[in-house]
Amino acid sequence: MADSLRDQLLKTGLVQKLKAEARDARPPEPRKPPRDGRKPDGRQAGKGAPPTQRPRGGGGGEMDLAKAYALRDRSEREQRDQEKRAAEQKAREKAERKRRLAELLEGKALNVADADVARHFPHGDKIRRVYCTAEQLAAVNAGDIAVVQHLGRYLLVARTIGEAVREVSPEALVLLSDPGAIAEDGVPDDLVW
């Protein structure tokens, strides 16, 4: 009984029958072409029957993949060029507005260096302030003086200049009080806080 199970099966011949049955049950392996350039039937590769040709043009079939990629690339390139031209045009218009605003405001600011009265106003999401004299505060509240933002500063300018700024660059006009309007929040404009 020193024989292993494998040895006992080999003696009976059962293992050889199982190997033969497993070999017959496997599908045949596909033949690989020889590496010397010959086809499996012995002919030279590239010789013999002419290659089949695909129909060209509009046979009602699908579009060639390369042509589809070329069309897509061309349309994407045209779209990028169009977006680039629009951005350049927008930048030119913005530069022109800044230039016209600078010309309009040159030497027209009414800010006083030693002004000590702060006029608060909302701009963006914050409450901002500009310093003015008591007379200028009354004029700002009456609508005779406007507040304009230029180059990061708030400038006091005459009402006519403020209206001209509105035409050139509406976002630069920060405050221009309407003398006949009632305050939305019920707080008087001349309240100093």
Inside any domain, residue 35: no
Picking from 112, 131, 110, 109, the residue whose alpha carbon sits closest to that of residue 120 is 131
Inside any domain, residue 121: yes
Residue in the block written with tokens 């608060």: 120
Residue range 98-153, pLDDT digits in tens: 899 888 888 888 888 888 888 888 888 888 888 988 888 888 888 888 999 888 88
Residue 47 has pLDDT above 80, yes or no: no
What is the domain extent for residue 92?
A: 80-193
Q: Which long-range contacts (CB under 8 A, 24 or more apart) does 86-92 make?
A: none
Inside any domain, residue 155: yes
Contact (Cβ atoms closer than 8 angstroms) between residue 134 and residue 117? yes
Inside any domain, residue 182: yes
pLDDT for 7: 79
Inside any domain, residue 151: yes
pLDDT for 6: 74
Inside any domain, residue 69: no
Choose between 29 and 90: higher pLDDT: 90
How far is residue 53 CA from its own chain's centroid? 45
Inside any domain, residue 75: no
Q: Count helices and strands (H / E) in the chain.
A: 5, 5
Inside any domain, residue 183: yes
Q: What total of structural domains would you count in the chain?
A: 1
42: left (phi over 0), alpha (psi -120 to 50) or beta: left
Q: How far apart are CA 101 and CA 171, in angstroms?
A: 11
Residue range 3-44, pLDDT digits in tens: 787 777 777 776 666 666 666 666 666 666 656 656 556 555
